[in-house]
Structure 1
Amino acid sequence: MKLKILIVDDNEEIRALLHATLDLADAFELHETHDGPSAVAMIDTLAPNLVLMDIMMPGQFDGVEACRRIKAVGGANAPKVVLISAKPVDQIKADAKTCGADLFIAKPFGPAQLVEAITALYRA
């Protein structure tokens, strides 16, 4: 069974790149959206296993707040959340701890690193 992943990024090119990268692994069912509010709204109907979330997004709230809301709504059944960002690693780590993210990945990262990080979450 393929892991269902929701890719959340305000930049369409980044979403397309993440989608293409993960699609190469042929192990994921991929979905996309452009902001935190739409990601939170999709959780109940889509029921993803994992949300790949950019931290810095304009609009009503950023990726950290979206992560916090996804974890609160889902409780024990919440999807895993992986934060991605170009912020300094210490700030990403602090943001991940604040919102309950399962993992963070600092940009730039390679395709193999992304796939390995995601699959490692499910091997443990």
Structure 2
Amino acid sequence: MNKIILVIEDQPEIRKLICMTMDYDGFEVHESDNGDSGLKMIKALRPGVVLLDVMMPGSIDGFQVCERVRADPEIAHTPIVMLTARGQQSDILTGRRVGCDEYLTKPFSPLQLIEIVERLLEKGR
């Protein structure tokens, strides 16, 4: 099982909370604070799961990161969890359209996040 988790989140305090939540059971947690570097890290690290914010600084947002991952055959299979404050039905539909596996709105339950990540990692064995 690939226990590499990549957190792409621009807010340091939220990134820290997510990293602390996922820092157990041998997970290797990596961080990025924007979509551009996050996309490069997905290609370099080949994470088991990506936890991806939608609204970020830089030239691409989370939806665009997800679209680009799904369009790249080498990394298209990477499970992506959108983790965002944008909880409108239209945002959730956009997340599904661009290919995210799960869509969690902030504030999120750390236990729910762990359950989702573990389920996605089990599927990807």
Q: Which runs of 5+ in 2 are unaligned?
A: none
* Cα drift, residue 123 of structure 1: 3.6
Partner in structure 1 of residue 83 of structure 2? 84
Partner in structure 2 of residue 13 of structure 1? 13
Inter-partner Cα distance in structure 1 for 2:102 and 2:73: 17
Identity %: 37
1:82-105 alpha-carbon deviations (Å, 9 max, x no partner): 001111241332122121111111
* Cα drift, residue 4 of structure 1: 0.7
Query: What is the TM-score of this pair, normalised by structure 2?
Result: 0.87
Query: What is the TM-score of this pair, normalised by structure 1?
Result: 0.88
Inter-partner Cα distance in structure 2 for 1:26 and 1:92: 32
| Residues 1-124 of structure 1 aligned to structure 2 (within 5 Å) | 1=1, 3-23=3-23, 25-74=24-73, 78-124=77-123
* Cα drift, residue 55 of structure 1: 0.7
Relative contact order, CA 8 A, sep 6+: which one is greater? 2
- Larger fraction in helix: 1
Cα-Cα RMSD: 1.8
CA gap of 1:115–1:59, structure 2 versus 1, over 3 A, is same
Q: Which runs of 5+ in 1 are unaligned?
A: none
1:13-41 alpha-carbon deviations (Å, 9 max, x no partner): 11111001111x32421000011111111
Q: How many residue pairs were aligned?
A: 123
| Contact 2:5/2:27, CA 8 A, preserved across alignment | yes
Inter-partner Cα distance in structure 1 for 2:80 and 2:73: 11
Inter-partner Cα distance in structure 2 for 1:14 and 1:107: 10
Q: Structure 1: which 4+ aligned runs deviate by more than 4 Å?
A: none
Secondary structure of 2:72's aligned partner: helix
* Cα drift, residue 47 of structure 1: 1.1
| Contact 2:55/2:84, CA 8 A, preserved across alignment | yes
